[in-house]
């Protein structure tokens, strides 16, 4: 045994990879359940060590996990989190959880970790997301959890009785976060959720979240397109090539993400997403931007956003290059080919939207038939 003594109650074992060391760490947590300035550093180091020994135990010694679960040590994480412990401790908590769930390989260990609902309590905890580090580790933790989703683990996250799915509903709140890393993590997480073949969970997604999420997502993509167009219009001297390249790259990422969702071939989701894309993005912003801007006293017409023709053509070309979902591609092609884009006026928008509505009915029937 080492002669070092801190945390109270046990000598610190020499071997960090042992059940005795976890017992020592448990004792440290037990003696330091209230976070203070004097024990913050100790708690952070203890949390880091717990993750390390649990990963070792998962592969080498089942008694380590047994002890962790027997003592309900995850509850200590929650107790610490619910105090005003500051970002220093919060970041380490989230980092520890992320490392732990990322490295757990034993399914039984994973089930035990998820079984007491502490993880969902952590997910819905009100963190200080104005702290960039906290935000980064939180969304990384959620993304890590999403990689553990399958038909066996989904019931730990989606509660059919309460119709609650915090892992998903909390994550999509950050779909338009200012940091691209966060937005990418949200997209990855949603795809991992959609891939799980669980009818009740997918019904929850379709009934409760699909319309608002896809509506907001399409709105966000539309605003991004307007920003891209603005960059093109105001860069006659080609001084913003880097920014434009980044905007184009992100837009292509959006299209690939949309295509990934559509390719999962989930009928209800595809109906909602296709409807949102055609009504709120492809037709009003892409196709109608090819129409001449005639003078009009109609304030609605004047205020309708549009992009330059060269940008509209580029955007449409990328849609046809990237999107492989046949019903959407065929519908968009039908709209373009059956509307003389060179002579569409703003006054014709109502007519075109009526035609679009008719095609959407046909599209929905196709999706339902193929779903």
Query: In the predicted model, what is the mean pLDDT of residues 351-364?
Result: 50
Instruction: Provide the pLDDT for residue 359.
Output: 45
Asked whether the CA dihedral 7, 13, 15, 17 is positive or negative, the reply is negative
Instruction: Provide the pLDDT for residue 84.
Output: 79
Q: Where on the phi/psi map is residue 238: left (φ > 0), alpha (ψ -120 to 50), or beta?
A: left
Does residue 219 register a pLDDT over 70?
yes
Question: Over the stretch 306-344, which tens digit does the pLDDT of each residue have?
Answer: 899 889 889 999 999 999 999 999 999 888 877 654 444
Does residue 294 register a pLDDT over 80?
no
Does residue 295 register a pLDDT over 70?
no
Q: Which of 12-21, 32-41, 69-78, 260-269 has the highest mean pLDDT?
A: 260-269
CA 339 to CA 282: how far, in whole Å? 14
CA 49 to CA 60: how far, in whole Å? 16
**CA 34 → CA 50, 85, 299, distances in Å?**
18, 9, 61
Does residue 136 register a pLDDT over 60?
yes
pLDDT band at 303 (very low <50, low <70, confident <90, very high): low
Q: Which of 6-15, 104-113, 175-184, 240-249 has the highest mean pLDDT?
A: 175-184
CA 152 to CA 142: how far, in whole Å? 18
Supply φ then ψ for residue 338, to 5 degrees: -100, 5
Q: Which of 74-83, 184-193, 361-370 has the highest mean pLDDT?
A: 184-193
Question: Over the stretch 21-34, which tens digit does the pLDDT of each residue have?
Answer: 999 999 999 999 89
Instruction: Provide the pLDDT for residue 371.
Output: 47
Instruction: Provide the pLDDT for residue 345.
Output: 47
pLDDT band at 37 (very low <50, low <70, confident <90, very high): confident
Long-range (24+ apart) CB contacts under 8 A made by 196-202 are 196/149, 196/150, 196/151, 196/154, 197/151, 198/151, 198/154, 198/158, 200/158, 200/160, 201/154, 201/158, 201/160, 201/165, 202/266, 202/268, 202/269
Helix (H, G, I), strand (E, B) or coil at 145: helix
CA 352 to CA 340: how far, in whole Å? 10
Does residue 97 register a pLDDT over 70?
yes
Does residue 173 register a pLDDT over 60?
yes
Does residue 118 register a pLDDT over 80?
yes
Instruction: Provide the pLDDT for residue 354.
Output: 53
Query: In the predicted model, what is the mean pLDDT of residues 111-136?
Result: 92
Task: Give the predicted TM-score (pTM) of the model.
Answer: 0.84
Supply φ then ψ for residue 159, to 5 degrees: -100, 105
């Amino acid at each position: 045994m080492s002669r070092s003594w801190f945390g109270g109650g046990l000598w610190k074992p020499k071997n960090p990879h042992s059940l005795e060391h976890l017992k020592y760490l448990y004792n440290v947590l037990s003696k330091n359940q209230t976070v203070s300035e004097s024990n913050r550093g100790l708690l952070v180091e203890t949390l880091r060590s717990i993750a390390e020994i649990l990963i070792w135990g998962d592969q080498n010694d089942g008694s380590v996990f047994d002890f962790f679960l027997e003592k309900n040590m995850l509850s200590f994480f929650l107790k610490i989190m619910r105090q005003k412990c500051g970002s220093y401790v919060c970041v380490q908590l989230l980092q520890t959880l992320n490392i732990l769930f990322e490295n757990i390989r034993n399914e039984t260990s994973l089930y035990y970790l998820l079984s007491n609902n502490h993880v969902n309590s952590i997910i819905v905890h009100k963190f200080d997301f104005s702290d960039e580090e906290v935000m980064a580790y939180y969304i990384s933790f959620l993304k890590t959890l999403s990689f553990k989703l399958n038909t066996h683990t989904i019931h730990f996250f989606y509660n059919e009785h309460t119709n609650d799915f915090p892992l998903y509903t909390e994550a999509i709140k950050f779909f338009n976060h200012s940091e691209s890393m966060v937005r990418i993590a949200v997209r990855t997480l949603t795809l991992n959720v959609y891939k799980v073949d669980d009818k009740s969970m997918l019904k929850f997604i379709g009934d409760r979240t699909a319309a608002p999420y896809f509506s907001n997502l399409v709105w966000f993509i539309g605003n991004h397109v307007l920003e891209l167009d603005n960059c093109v219009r105001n860069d006659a001297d080609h001084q913003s090539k880097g920014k434009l390249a980044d905007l184009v790259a992100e837009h292509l990422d959006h299209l690939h993400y949309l295509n990934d969702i559509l390719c999962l071939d989930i009928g209800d989701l595809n109906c909602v997403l296709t409807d949102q894309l055609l009504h709120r993005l492809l037709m009003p912003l892409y196709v109608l931007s090819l129409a001449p801007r005639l003078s009009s006293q109609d304030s609605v017409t004047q205020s309708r956003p549009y992009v330059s023709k060269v940008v509209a053509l580029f955007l449409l070309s990328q849609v046809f290059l990237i999107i492989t979902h046949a019903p959407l591609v065929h519908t968009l092609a039908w709209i373009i080919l059956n509307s003389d884009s060179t002579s569409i006026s703003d006054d014709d928008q109502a007519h075109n939207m009526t035609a679009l509505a008719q095609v959407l009915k046909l599209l929905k029937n196709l999706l339902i038939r193929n779903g």
